[in-house]
Amino acid sequence: MAPSTTPSPDAASAGHPYETLTPDVVLDALATLGLHGDGRLTALNSYENRVYQVYLEDRSAVVVKFYRPGRWSDAAILEEHGFSLELAAAEVPAVPPIAIDGATLHRHGGFAFSVSPYRGGRAPELDDFEVLEWVGRFLARIHGVGARTPFAARPALDLQTFGIASRDWLLGHEMVPLDVQREWETACNTAFEMISATALGTDAQSAEQAMKKLRLHGDVHPGNILWTPTDRPDGGPHFVDLDDARTGFAVQDLWMLLSGDRAQRTGQLSGLLDGYEQFRDFDRRELALIEPLRTLRLIHYSAWLARRWEDPIFPINFPWFGSSDYWKGQIQMLQDQCEAMEEEPLYA
């Protein structure tokens, strides 16, 4: 069964809002800020928002992000901007938006947008211990800034927001085919029972008090770290796309950089933490949250795809989503995750 064709909350009644975001609209938006493109415009890899690299008449390049309508409030977007500006002020290699006439958030054609300097780079080589150590040092510095003050408008990453809310939305909008719905819901509920006993659960207040939450990047995967040659000025890693910045535990910004079998993941974790702990202590108890976090991301990802199905780019790029075979695969992965959550956590 394909996802329902009932419009999602962020879909316009006469087509998706992004259908109106033509190259002319992008260039006109920049022109309202006194930035004039030379006609060269490239769409960058982003599904949640629309992001473009635009060359200006002075031959410099900027990155323009048009935020998905209805996803974040202005207050939440400005918290993202404020966090990235704090990081830049602390000499952490993030890429903050440019303040133009004192503002980082702008509007044109019904869209909220921001402009950032263009920074190139490639994915880091995460099989290199020195690279892992380097990334770990900067993650610690991000968290050092993140621990200063809390987010007020951005949500937490926990069982309720990533797991239960995602399950309930999928079932409430009849996105899971009837022939696998009961089995999928059972797999979710089994996983949630296990997660509820951790610091991510709503009934784990004592654990939450012992393990501190902070502002996070929230989506640290290899695609959001750009690496430049170390023999160049400011070479090494820099972090992009704080769009998923949330409140949570520090391990959230580490676990997505781990891959391979247990021995490989243990080695990668050792490299990250060797760098991390040069700048900040890491609570080893958080390692027990890696598999629960992976499980929540799995369920949240399905809900994310379903919620975005009215955006034409999603059926094109995710044609396999929504069938009974897709959901059977999800059931198996949830069952595998329940087994993984019973295993001893990684240790480094």
Of 317, 292, 290, 291, nearest to 304 (Cα)? 317
Q: Using CA atoms of 70, 71, 76, 79 in order, give the dihedral in degrees to the nearest 10.
A: -130
Judged by DSSP in three states, 225 sits in strand
Q: What is d(CA 208, CA 202) in angstroms, rounded to the nearest whole number?
A: 9
Q: Which residue blocks in the chain are alpha helix, DSSP H?
A: 23-31, 74-89, 129-146, 165-172, 178-195, 205-210, 252-255, 262-276, 290-307, 313-317, 324-342
Q: Which residues of 146-176 are buried (b: 16+ CB within 10 A; e: fewer)?
A: beeeebeebebbbbbbbbbbbbebbeebebb
Whole-angstrom Cα distance, residue 86 to residue 285? Answer: 28
Whether 54 and 321 have beta carbons less than 8 Å apart is answered as no
Angle (CA) 37-71-16 rounded to 5° is 65
| List of residues 6+ apart from 264 with CB closer than 8 A | 258
Catalytic residue among 219, 243, 253, 311: 219
Annotation says 283 is catalytic: no
Catalytic residue among 241, 243, 253, 311: 241
H or E element: which one contains 56? strand 50-56
Q: What is the DSSP string of 98-122?
A: PPBTTBS-EEETTEEEEEEE----B
- Tell me the C-alpha to C-alpha distance, in Å, between residue 259 and each of 25, 26, 48, 195, 316: 40, 37, 24, 22, 28
Q: Is 10 a catalytic residue?
A: no
Q: What does the alpha-carbon distance between residue 303 and residue 232 come to, in Å, rounded to a whole number?
A: 42
Q: Which residue has the tokens 């059977």?
A: 328
Characterise 192 by phi-psi region: left (phi > 0), alpha (psi -120 to 50), beta (else).
Answer: alpha
User: What amino acid positions are annotated as catalytic residues?
Assistant: 219, 241
